[in-house]
Every structure is written in C-alpha cells, then in structure tokens.
Structure 1
Amino acid sequence: GLLDLGLGRAAAALARFERLTREPMRHHICATRSTPDLVESAVRVGTPERAAEPLARFERWASSVQQPWADALLLRCRALVAADDDQAQALYTEALQLHDQDGRALEYARTALLYGEWLRRARRKAEARGWLNEALEVFDRLGMRPWAERARGELTATGAQDEGSKPAEGAAIGLTPQELQIARLAAQGMSNRDIAAQLFLSHRTVGYHLYKAYPKLGIVSRSELKKLEL
C-alpha cells in the first residue's frame, strides 16, 4: 500500500489499506498504524468519506496512547479532510511542530510534502518551496525514491528547479510547470486518474493540461510522450 501511494497509485493503495479495516485484521496494530495512509489515499481519490470510520477509531486510539508522533499523525489526517483553509493550515503547522519534537524524520517529511502541496494549490508557491525542499532532503537521505520524485514534481510545479531535477529541454521548454509535471507523469505510464490523485487535481484538469501540452511538444497522442526526453 505504501509503495502504491508513493508511486501515485492512490486507488490501488486505498484498496489495500481498506482490506485492513475488515476482519480479521481490523484490530491489529498494523491496521491502526496504516490509518493515516488510508486517509491520504481516500482524499487523493476524492472519497474522504471512505476513511471516516477508520479515522474515528484512530482518533480514539491516539487519545489513549498519548504519544506525540500519534498526535502528529492525527493532526495530519484532520488537515487532509479539513474543509476550512485556516483550519487546515493550523493543523498542518501543529502537526509539523509535533513531528519536529518527536524526531521521526519520515513522517515529518510526509507531512511537509502534504503541506507543501496544499500551499502550492493555494498559489502560495514561495512558501510551498521551503516545505517541499525539506521533504525532498529527507526522502533523498533515506533513499525513498518515489517520494523524492513526488517532492521534485511538486517543486517543478511551483516553478522551482532543484539540483536533482532534470531541466526541461527542447520542445518541453515551452511547457508551463504544471504541464511539464503532468507530461512527465503521463510519460511514465500513469493514467489521468492516477496523475489527478497524486496532484490533487480532477482527471479532467489533467486531460486539459495534456491537451495543451501536445501541440507544444509536437505530438498528437499519449503514446508519443514516452519517446520524448522530458
């Protein structure tokens, strides 16, 4: 499930995590511990309601164990499903503070990535870059390549160029940061729905950006993307 989530296959990840919500695994610690991953997967595919009951159980569990790392994960989950922007920002900020105190670098990086993505969608690109760079540093250090590539993709979408990212070349230079990010993911074989889940976009928006990108790249079909150096 984590591999699917890291590779942007949110629907596949959600299906795996949901198996842990059913008997006989429902009360196992691995099922409880995977709830934040289930919440992220459900939000990415646009069905947060599928995580409502597991999240309620996780909240009760976190309240009973009273550990900063568990509280931080709960705050991250609440931020993901928050309907109000001010509330979401406050939850992300508090979660990152708790992660920082606890010292679990991976969870800190994952929350920083989600917060950076949220800031980018809010068009606060300068703020987003700081958190995305922090996440990228941890993912690179831990050798978590799929997550590092996600962070790099988000940085690209903010218009930044990090040292480990491949710059646009040739016809790709004419693409917007968002078009380049989507074109690269499509070239990897990801479907519009998987790209949409990874980037928190609608699949129609992904299709629109590809439609705009094709003429700039001098191609007419998705299959031709794989032949390009993006």
Structure 2
Amino acid sequence: MRHQIQAVYFAPDQIEAAVRLGLPACEPLRRFEEWATASGQDWALAVLHRCRALLETDWERAHEDFGAAVRLHAGSGRPWEAARTRLAFGERLRRERDKGSARPHLRAAWETFERLGARPWAERARTELRATGDTSSPAAPAEVLSALSPQELQIVRLAAKGLTNREIGAQLFLSPKTVSYHLYRAFPKLNVASRAQLAGLDLS
C-alpha cells in the first residue's frame, strides 16, 4: 500500500521528467488521473490539469488545462504546487513567444519559491523571467517588511546593495558586530539565508 501511495505521489514528477526527456508518460498519467479524480481535491485536480497540459501538443488545449489548473489552485492551500503550475505555464507561454502573458505567471512562481526557500526552483523561474525581458526583482510582501524594525530595514537595504558590515556600520554609526546581529535577526523574517539572497528582493 505504501509503495502504491508513493507511486501516485511521484507521478507528476515522473511526467515532467518524461516531457523534458521526450519520453512517453501514459502510465504515470493514468495512475495519477485515477487517484486525483477519486480524491476530488482541488489541488490534486489542479496538478492533474498541469500534467495533461505538459503532455498536450495542441497549444489551445494545453492553454485550457493550464488555465483550469491555475483556477483550481486558488485557495487550495498548496502554494508549492501552485508555483510549479505557474512556472510550467509561463515556460510554455514563453516558448510559444507570448512573453507578455508569461511574465505574471513566472513572477508569481518566482516570488512563491523565494518565500518557500526553494532556491533551485526560484533560480529556474528567475531565468525564465529574464528570458522574457523582465530583469526586475520580486517585491518583498509589505507584511514581511513591516515585521522588520526601522534599523533592521535600513541595514538589510544597505546589505542588499553589497555593502559590508563594516561599511554599513560606518554609515549608521554602528559596530560591525551590531550590524551582524541585526542581519541575523532580519534574515528569518525575510525568509533568506544569505546576503546574496537579499539582492534578489525588492526592499523599497
């Protein structure tokens, strides 16, 4: 039974991998389709639509499936799966040379992956977004910035520009140790783990 559940759970990953390798994926699609339909859960049905869209060669049908997936994801409580769907949709739109429509999906995926700390996925979404001509940074949610103290916000903004702790301290009349302490407190609030990740956020 456990192996059956795992086989269903990993079916979407198998399908996406097969698509990228140009291999058939009828069996994992059938397996996941049976389970998702029986479950009746919105998030599962959304992933099913995503899988169908990935395998669909007809663009209009793929567009319909992606659209249905995005709608079902809304409010489903599965931001990870919703971001994967947005990323796949954006990638397909970009390949179809519809860059304007691809950008909002890719940006939504990027921001969600960043918030979840999924760095490889965030980089993938950012690469796709840049390929559409969008080189801006994702905005940090207002509620996240409001969680920072005024001094923390000052410090992270300077750190995001590439200033060292010593340089930040010189500007704000603080010791490098105090700057380091404030960054240590601010990083978890921004869901980042390094100064390099700060550069990927719009802290304005």
Q: TM-score, normalised by structure 2?
A: 0.65
Equivalent in the alignment of 1:18: none
Cα separation, 1, equivalents of 2:66 and 2:113: 19
Equivalent in the alignment of 2:14: 38
Correspondence for 1:66 among 28, 32, 40: 40
Cα separation, 2, equivalents of 1:92 and 1:106: 16
Equivalent in the alignment of 1:84: 58
The alignment-based identity, stated in percent, is 50
Cα separation, 1, equivalents of 2:17 and 2:38: 25
The answer to whether residue 117 in structure 2 is matched with residue 143 in structure 1 is yes
CA drift of 1:103 comes to 2.2
Task: Give the SS at the match of 1:161.
Answer: coil
Rg (Cα) greater in structure: 2
Correspondence for 2:68 among 80, 94, 106: 94
The runs of at least 4 aligned residues of structure 1 exceeding 3 Å deviation read: none
Cα separation, 2, equivalents of 1:113 and 1:144: 13
For the 8 Å contact 1:96–1:108, the answer to whether it is kept is yes
Cα separation, 2, equivalents of 1:38 and 1:87: 21
Consecutive unaligned residues in structure 2, runs of 5 or more = 139-204
Cα separation, 2, equivalents of 1:121 and 1:139: 21
CA, structure 1 residues 93+32, in 2 after alignment: closer, same or farther (shift >3 Å)?
same
AA paired with 1:55? L
CA drift of 1:101 comes to 2.9
For the 8 Å contact 2:103–2:129, the answer to whether it is kept is yes
The answer to whether residue 133 in structure 2 is matched with residue 159 in structure 1 is yes
Correspondence for 1:54 among 5, 28, 53: 28
RMSD of aligned Cα (Å): 1.4
For the 8 Å contact 1:152–1:162, the answer to whether it is kept is no
Task: Give the SS at the match of 2:123.
Answer: helix
- CA deviations 1:48-70 (Å, max 9, x no partner) are x1x21121111111121111111
Which has the bigger relative contact order, CA under 8 A and spacing at least 6? 1
CA drift of 1:26 comes to 4.7
Task: Give the SS at the match of 1:87.
Answer: helix
- CA deviations 1:69-98 (Å, max 9, x no partner) are 111111100000012110000000000110
